[in-house]
Amino acid sequence: MSSEASSLKGQLLIAMPGMSDPRFDHSVIYMCAHTADAAMGLVVNRLVDHINFPDLLEQLNIKLDSPAQQIRVHFGGPVESGRGFVLHSADYLQDASMVVDGDVALTASVNVLKAIAEGEGPKHSLLALGYAGWGPGQLDAEIQANAWLHAPADDEIVFGTNLESKWRQAAEKLGVDISLLSSDAGHA
């Protein structure tokens, strides 16, 4: 990556058809950080199937009779899959929160989960286990190899509940019908 101006922080990565890594097939990733040294994002259109929010609260020893708010648990990516991250609207910030852009923040503390469960958390939130991460130059090389498109983020794609349509919606932000794209670079 040549400069901060070309950073994808706060944008969406959209997996191209034929993505060679099955963990990212048809995925949409919200980019939380992107520098010359590393990149980090959360998959926003895939759920985990082995745990739900009440079970997670119980594992974390957060005692509530009945959570005021239920949220789904997403597969954020294959790195540190036991670690939780909450991507949320910036109307709720803690000392541990990292503001990604003016409207979206990332918090990895248990306190945000308790606030969400009590109905006192952010207006919009997405709970993810794990994250997608890239080393120096790795993401840029994957983009050059036509593995990813990138597009501006919006709340409906990031926080919306219709996971099936996010991949198509994200590509449509670029004016692209992704179903018409070939998985072979340079071929129609």
- Of the CA atoms within 13 Å of residue 109, those in its CB half-sphere come to 12
Q: Which residues does 109 contact at the CB level (< 8 Å), separation at least 6?
A: 94, 96
The pairing of beta strand 125-134 with beta strand 73-75? parallel
Q: What are phi and psi of 140, to 5 degrees?
A: -60, -40
Mean per-residue pLDDT over the chain, rounded: 88
Res. 2: pLDDT tops 70: no
142 vs 3, more confident: 142
Res. 183: pLDDT tops 60: no
Amino acid at site 106:
L
Q: What is the pLDDT of residue 144?
A: 92
Q: What is the pLDDT of residue 107?
A: 95
- Each domain of the chain, given as residue ranges in start order, spans 7-177
Is the domain 7-177 a CATH 3.40.1740.10 member? yes
- pTM, whole model, 2 decimals? 0.90
Question: In the chain, what percentage of residues exceed pLDDT 70?
Answer: 91
77 torsion bin: left (phi>0), alpha (psi -120 to 50), beta (else): left
Q: For residue 93, give the 3-state DSSP assignment.
A: coil
Span 10-25, average pLDDT: 93
**Residues in the chain, total:** 188
Res. 187: pLDDT tops 50: no
